[in-house]
Amino acid sequence: MDTLLNLQALPMGAAIGGPVALGGISLFFIRQYVKDQKKKSSPFPPPPEVPGLPVIGNLLQLKEKKPHKTFTKWAEEYGPIYSIKTGSSNMVVLNTNDVAKEAMVTKYSSMSTRKLSNALKILTSDKSMVAMSDYNEFYKTAKRNLLTSTLGTNAQKRHRVHRDTMMNNICEQFHAHAKTFPSEAVNFRKIFQSELFGLSLKQAIGEDLGSVYVEEFGTTLSRQEIFKILVLDPMEGAIEVDWRDFFPYLKWIPNKTFEKRIEQMHFRRQAVMKAIIEQQKKRVASGVELNCYFDYLMSEAKTLSEQQLLMLMWEAIIEASDTVLVTSEWAVYELSKDQEKQNRLLQEIQNACGFEKLTEEKLCKLPYLAAVFHETLRKHSPVPIVPLRYVHEDAQLGGYNIPQGTEIAINIYGCNMDKNMWDSPEEWKPERFLGRKDETMELHKTMAFGGGKRVCAGALQAMLISCVAIGRLVQEFEWRLKDGEEANVDTLGLTTHKLHPLLTNIKPRNRTE
């Protein structure tokens, strides 16, 4: 997440009631008048509008913090494409595959610019990363480097050893738990998250980190502290709301609490990344080369500024550490809840692998495992809304006029829950993906990874890690939800993190089972 969108949190109420100045309001009405005149001159109608309140528009209706769900409900009443007002901005929301693909593929050139919240402007160093950059030369070069060194098919082959080590470590830790605490539920996230972070570091800098000395703090940070500063805090910061995002004409009014919080996160992230980069530079200078993103950038992307290098390295770490955990945790939740589907998967794995450990080579022979992965991506859409873009020249979408300046929210969750496309979309049914014409290894069976030029660069890595993890864990253990865990389906954050970490009872399987 990859995956940065401020809309996730719109806890407005109090903030909106704050300082609204008269000068600002007049400006707002003038801009509105100009927009209305423009609308009247287009041959296409405007999209249906969700009614809201004067000045704040639909903000209060979105304060529940899960806009993707509210958007999906509105789609039932207003159709696949409609417009809302978030303060002074007009936003068009897209809720089906057809209109989403039109925006991401055929009309991409009119709507490729990223729209960043104030928090994201700071945390992304004003778009200095692949996922949040506009479509420009920096983006094209940075994406090519990322794919060549880390995420493309050949690079993923070179990083295979890290995925295998990660998987063995995960299995070992679950076995150790089952042996030491046979009747205690295991916290899936605790084990998986830490190993995934290790893998992201190995791909980025060639090695896992036990600790790092940070000069700005005058102290040595533990691995857990590094993880918090580089991954957990920025994921939280990305959804911080600054009420000025919705009323840019009031940007001259300070919002000190917000600014201090985000600046501090930025400062800490900068300090830790600088320390890591210094360490790696010393390693390279001493003649030790590693197969990693850092070494590739040092030798192939010499024109990068220090800040660009820092941001690209950080991006590789944070993006590899989050959404794969989200997907794997939800898949294991669903399988632990449904013994019949778990047994069907086990049967398939045993038929394909016999007594051998499941490996990546076997994935093409495991259509039900692929179906489990894609059905989890569909139902739990790890990135529920594509990071916002805005229209930089007048365009049409779904037969409607979309004027320049409109923000575009692509509701992936809505596409994946569309009743016209998916039978009983609220049910988790991997079977819906069986017997289709597409290949077992096809990555884009749902809208989960986005589409077009900005399609997820990490989709292959996500599939390789998640599928092998789900398969190996079912091959080696019997999974059952802890009592009371079934109801814990709430989510939290920028990506659809399970609010309560998954707790399951595990039992190692008999080798002859």
Q: Which of 461, 385, 454, 410 is nearest to 139 (CA)?
A: 454
Please pick, from the candidates 457, 467, 469, 481, the single residue that binds ligand HEM as defined by CB under 6 A. Answer: 457
Return the number of the residue (207 or 278) whose C-beta is nearest ligand HEM: 207
What is the maximum span of the chain, computed from C-alpha positions, in angstroms?
A: 76
Return the number of the residue (144 or 365) whose C-beta is nearest ligand HEM: 144
- Site pattern 207..226 for ligand HEM (x: CB under 6 A): --------------------
Return the number of the residue (146 or 277) whose C-beta is nearest ligand HEM: 146
- The C-alpha atoms of residue 169 and residue 164 are separated, in whole angstroms, by 9
| Residue for token pair 């996730």 | 8
Helix or strand run (H / E) with residue 388: none
Pairing of strands 477-481, 81-86: unpaired
Tally of CA atoms within 13 A in the half-sphere of 73 that contains its CB: 6
Q: Which of 255, 249, 247, 252 is nearest to 85 (CA)?
A: 247
By CB under 6 A, tell whether 414 contacts ligand HEM.
no
Task: Choose one: 46-54, 56-64, 431-439, 456-464; the region binding ligand HEM (CB under 6 A).
Answer: 456-464
In the complex, the smallest distance separating the C-beta of residue 366 from ligand HEM, rounded to whole angstroms, is 18
Return the number of the residue (276 or 386) whose C-beta is nearest ligand HEM: 386
The pair of structure tokens assigned to 323 is 């959404």
CA geometry: angle 337, 186, 343, nearest 5 deg:
35
By CB under 6 A, tell whether 462 contacts ligand HEM.
yes
- The C-alpha atoms of residue 55 and residue 38 are separated, in whole angstroms, by 20
117 CB neighbour count, 10 Å cutoff: 25
Task: Choose one: 69-77, 334-342, 380-388, 437-445; the region binding ligand HEM (CB under 6 A).
Answer: 380-388
Task: Choose one: 341-349, 383-391, 419-427, 485-493; the region binding ligand HEM (CB under 6 A).
Answer: 383-391
In the complex, the smallest distance separating the C-beta of residue 373 from ligand HEM, rounded to whole angstroms, is 9
In the complex, the smallest distance separating the C-beta of residue 166 from ligand HEM, rounded to whole angstroms, is 13
For residues 237 and 119, the answer to whether their CB atoms sit within 8 Å is yes
In the complex, the smallest distance separating the C-beta of residue 218 from ligand HEM, rounded to whole angstroms, is 32
Tally of CA atoms within 13 A in the half-sphere of 78 that contains its CB: 20
Distance of CA 267 to the CA centre of its chain: 23
- The C-alpha atoms of residue 327 and residue 96 are separated, in whole angstroms, by 22
* 8-state DSSP, 177: H
In the complex, the smallest distance separating the C-beta of residue 141 from ligand HEM, rounded to whole angstroms, is 12
Return the number of the residue (370 or 448) whose C-beta is nearest ligand HEM: 448
| Residue for token pair 């991506």 | 377
Rounded to 10 deg, the angle between the 459-476 and 323-337 helix axes is 30
- Site pattern 295..334 for ligand HEM (x: CB under 6 A): ------------------------xx--xx--x-------
- The C-alpha atoms of residue 64 and residue 120 are separated, in whole angstroms, by 21
Footprint (CB under 6 A) of ligand HEM, residues 142-161: 143, 146, 151
- The C-alpha atoms of residue 312 and residue 292 are separated, in whole angstroms, by 13
Please pick, from the candidates 15, 99, 456, 502, the single residue that binds ligand HEM as defined by CB under 6 A. Answer: 456
- The C-alpha atoms of residue 353 and residue 407 are separated, in whole angstroms, by 49
CA geometry: angle 399, 400, 401, nearest 5 deg:
130
Distance of CA 492 to the CA centre of its chain: 12
- The C-alpha atoms of residue 430 and residue 338 are separated, in whole angstroms, by 12
Q: Residue 273: what residue type?
A: M
Return the number of the residue (159 or 244) whose C-beta is nearest ligand HEM: 159
Helix or strand run (H / E) with residue 446: none
- The C-alpha atoms of residue 502 and residue 272 are separated, in whole angstroms, by 30
Return the number of the residue (250 or 470) whose C-beta is nearest ligand HEM: 470
In the complex, the smallest distance separating the C-beta of residue 124 from ligand HEM, rounded to whole angstroms, is 12
In the complex, the smallest distance separating the C-beta of residue 483 from ligand HEM, rounded to whole angstroms, is 29
By CB under 6 A, tell whether 234 contacts ligand HEM.
no
Footprint (CB under 6 A) of ligand HEM, residues 416-455: 448-450, 454
Helix or strand run (H / E) with residue 503: strand 503-508
Return the number of the residue (272 or 448) whose C-beta is nearest ligand HEM: 448
- Site pattern 98..137 for ligand HEM (x: CB under 6 A): ------x-------------------------xx------
Residues binding ligand HEM: number (CB under 6 A): 29
In the complex, the smallest distance separating the C-beta of residue 463 from ligand HEM, rounded to whole angstroms, is 8
In the complex, the smallest distance separating the C-beta of residue 13 from ligand HEM, rounded to whole angstroms, is 29
Residue 415 labelled as part of a binding site: no
Report the residue closest to ligand HEM, judged by CB: 458
In the complex, the smallest distance separating the C-beta of residue 454 from ligand HEM, rounded to whole angstroms, is 4
Annotated binding site for heme: 456
Provide the binding-site residues for ligand HEM, judged by CB under 6 A. 1-3, 104, 130-131, 143, 146, 151, 319-320, 323-324, 327, 377, 382-383, 386-387, 412, 448-450, 454, 456-458, 461-462
Binding residues: 456
